[in-house]
Structure 1
Amino acid sequence: MTQRVIKNAKIVTATEEFTGCMVIEDGLIRSIERGDTSVASAEDWAGDWLLPGLVELHTDNLEKHLVPRPGVLWNAHSATVMHDALCAAAGITTVLDSIVIGDMDQGGSRSQTQHMSIQALHECRAEELLRVEHLLHLRCEVSAPDIVEVFEQYADDSLLELVSVMDHTPGQRQWRDLTKYRLYAERNGNFRDNEYEALVAERREHQLKYAIPNRAAIIAASHARSLPLASHDDTEVEHVEQAHEERIGISEFPTTVAAAKAARAAGIGIVMGGPNLVKGGSHSGNVSAAELARLDLLDIFSSDYVPASLLQSAFLLRDSVGWTLPKAVNTVTRNPAHAIGLTDRGELAPGLRADVIRVRMSGDMPIVRGAWHKGERAF
């Protein structure tokens, strides 16, 4: 039996915060108490925050390590291990690596990395190279001609915990604003006007041909395997109504207040991006996370492309929006865990997994001073 006792920590449970102590035994939380302890060997956290390990449902951070520059592919094992270290340093103890399949850019970086990244994830886990737990989120581009074929290769993957259906065809959902879409499309090089117009026309043609049957096939296959489903970039009320009819439980990054309200009315969990809150708005020109939070139309944060934004978002909800800290912390711990059926983590409670982090404030900035996964030091 291995045991650790922590004292003088500001503990945040799912419903309250207080100064107290915690006992961790054999990878699980054994007890949580208010006040002090008489155990001589107890670690004094000197008033630092003791929070649950963060749970990440959707991060593109691995891509930045796989493709550090346009046209440059990095070794997948090295990229995975560095991504893992950054997650641990950000306080994330459970991470769903979101892998895009069905790349709309034929021959683009995502089509080149989708298979190698999943293979590297399995191999790094098998070799015990990772600090925290990595699972799989397949992001399915329904307008891509090959999406169903690729999905079927991974539908029974042992690490698969979430499937999202998305459609990045220009002119709708995230890319209603074609000016912003062009800026995004030209991130790796400019198009002539006729080239850009041809690109948009091709993507719209693919949507008309493939989106409806591909979406239906992926949703049916996911339900057959009891896989949680998310809809991506819901914009119109009709998008949410469709997701509800399809028995989808999560709305990732709704782009309008109307869509978020429809999701709440339908009992669909609402995910927003941490960078949206930290930076004060959406880089795509869509609804801000702060506005949805003030309307209480937000359940879960994703760090999206900046792992550190997850913890920052929780404290910003408290400091800028006025949420209680337990409610805010739930958006990056308990709520995402429960949304995909992981009930053994995500909060500080006896009997749950000892995924915990130590946080110290530097001014108004929360800094992770330590992270433990199943009671073992990860950072």
Structure 2
Amino acid sequence: MTGLHVRLTGADVLTPDGLQKVPLILDAGRIADGDGAAREVDLSGYIVLPGIVDVHGDGFERHLAPRRGAMKDIDQGLVTAEAELAANGITTAVLAQFYSWEGGMRGPEFAERVMTGVAQVRGNVVTDLHTQLRFETPMLDDYGAALEFIDRHSVAYCVFNDHLPHVALEKGKQPKGLIGKSLRIGRNPEVHLAMMQEMHARRAEVPAAVDGLSAALAARGVRMGSHDDRSAEARAEWRARGATLAEFPETLEAAEAARAGGDAVIMGAPNVVRGGSHNGNVSAADMVMMGLVDALASDYHYPSLRRAAFFLLDAGVCDLATAWGLISAGPARILGLSDRGALVPGMRADLLVLEMRTRRVAATLAGGRISYLQGDVAQRFLGG
């Protein structure tokens, strides 16, 4: 399917020069130039903005397992997750999936099911779905398997994580929540603790292993990033490996080092909406104000992307074009998707229609195809 052939009129359209009341022609899945014949859709009273590009989100997980152990129909869960993406104006989504020692929905076996499921549904949904693998670096015995996994599923984006509770393990303490977490994934708590202790004891081997894996991924052209950087030194180490995306840096020092080194900085939209980090890390809104953020990600909450952009606008942090760029053009650029993020001729017809007064999503189109449509706008598009 090639998308609608329509001429959108009457709306305030977010152009590179700001909001303008200009017509927008969609044809063959693209923004078209000129005034060729097309059915007119009057969107007076609405705002049309570039489709949202979510560079990192794991909110899809709740659709895959509505209750503990209920994870049989991965493909159906992903279809439902795609509906939520569309309802929130997201036209391109990176589904962030763990490959972790933590097991359960973060374990390698579940990652296999998710990647297989995405491949199955990708051609049957409108939203452009991409994947990211979040690899836990303490898994020294899994580096070969992880590389084979990445090759088999053509993973184009990998982020390195380390969620091992090193501080508690170094002190010989039982990590907080160990029993509940281990039982939740069906693992004996003592076995789970022993596994964590063994990985912690081998932590000195991790840098060399990461060097090897990152070199292999760089040779394959895989995009790489680090997660939760805390220092300029750590950011420099990741940059040297080719991991030039800094996801959710926890300190201003790390973010400034990323910017100074030409790396892209990704922060969480929920951090902006909440007015700060839920665990005391640096404020994303403050970082935006300082010009240190290239993109906002949904993280765990898809509605926060749109809300964060308007929060920044209403708070006077930046204008709408700049705020919206953090959830459209910015993440598109980070992902190497040069065909989206702006409503100009030749670009993909990725857009959302917002009610001017409430700022609710009334319609979402990806590649000129409708992925979400409701209310009065539905009647306008359908000609009723």
Give the TM-score taking structure 2 as reference length: 0.85
Q: Percent identity?
A: 29
- Matched residue SS, 2:11: strand
Q: 1:150 to 1:19 in 2, by over 3 A?
A: farther
Residue in structure 1 matched with residue 83 of structure 2 by the alignment: 85
RMSD: 3.2
- Aligned to 1:375, which of 354, 368, 380? 368
* AA aligned opposite 2:29: G
Q: Is 1:152 matched with 2:124?
A: no
| Deviation digits for residues 152-188 of structure 1 (CA, Å, limit 9, x no counterpart) | 223335753311111112247xx9xxx9x73698568
Q: Is 1:204 matched with 2:200?
A: yes
Residue in structure 2 matched with residue 260 of structure 1 by the alignment: 255
Residue in structure 1 matched with residue 118 of structure 2 by the alignment: 121
* AA aligned opposite 1:377: I
- Kindly state the Cα deviation for residue 150 of structure 1 after the two structures are TM-superposed: 3.2
Contact 2:98-2:106 at 8 Å conserved across structures: no
* AA aligned opposite 1:51: L
Q: 1:368 to 1:144 in 2, by over 3 A?
A: same
Q: 1:194 to 1:116 in 2, by over 3 A?
A: closer
Residue in structure 1 matched with residue 377 of structure 2 by the alignment: none
| Deviation digits for residues 5-26 of structure 1 (CA, Å, limit 9, x no counterpart) | 0011111123422222111111
Contact 1:148-1:218 at 8 Å conserved across structures: yes
| Deviation digits for residues 114-153 of structure 1 (CA, Å, limit 9, x no counterpart) | 101111111112xx32121111211111112344233222
Contact 2:104-2:110 at 8 Å conserved across structures: no
Distance in 2 (CA, whole Å) between partners of 1:184 and 1:361 is 48
- Kindly state the Cα deviation for residue 354 of structure 1 after the two structures are TM-superposed: 0.5
| Deviation digits for residues 186-215 of structure 1 (CA, Å, limit 9, x no counterpart) | 56879xx99998676445225334x22332
Contact 2:57-2:300 at 8 Å conserved across structures: yes
Q: Is 1:243 matched with 2:242?
A: no
- Aligned to 2:13, which of 11, 14, 17? 11
- Kindly state the Cα deviation for residue 58 of structure 1 after the two structures are TM-superposed: 0.9
- Kindly state the Cα deviation for residue 278 of structure 1 after the two structures are TM-superposed: 1.1
- Matched residue SS, 1:284: coil
* AA aligned opposite 2:74: A
Give the TM-score taking structure 1 as reference length: 0.86
- Aligned to 1:275, which of 226, 246, 270? 270
- Kindly state the Cα deviation for residue 307 of structure 1 after the two structures are TM-superposed: 1.0
Residue in structure 1 matched with residue 324 of structure 2 by the alignment: 329
Contact 1:14-1:330 at 8 Å conserved across structures: no
* AA aligned opposite 2:361: V
- Matched residue SS, 1:315: helix
Q: 1:129 to 1:9 in 2, by over 3 A?
A: same
Q: 1:146 to 1:318 in 2, by over 3 A?
A: farther
| Deviation digits for residues 243-293 of structure 1 (CA, Å, limit 9, x no counterpart) | 222232210000011111111111111100111111222223211211212
Residue in structure 1 matched with residue 176 of structure 2 by the alignment: 182
Contact 1:161-1:340 at 8 Å conserved across structures: no
Q: 1:342 to 1:107 in 2, by over 3 A?
A: closer
| Deviation digits for residues 24-60 of structure 1 (CA, Å, limit 9, x no counterpart) | 111110138xxxx998942111131111111111111
Distance in 1 (CA, whole Å) between partners of 2:44 and 2:67 is 42
Residue in structure 1 matched with residue 382 of structure 2 by the alignment: none
Distance in 2 (CA, whole Å) between partners of 1:186 and 1:208 is 29
Distance in 1 (CA, whole Å) between partners of 2:164 and 2:70 is 26
| Structure 2: 5+ residue stretches without partners | 373-384
Residue in structure 1 matched with residue 375 of structure 2 by the alignment: none
Residue in structure 2 matched with residue 285 of structure 1 by the alignment: 280
Residue in structure 1 matched with residue 29 of structure 2 by the alignment: 27
- Matched residue SS, 1:182: coil
* AA aligned opposite 2:126: R
Q: Is 1:104 matched with 2:97?
A: no
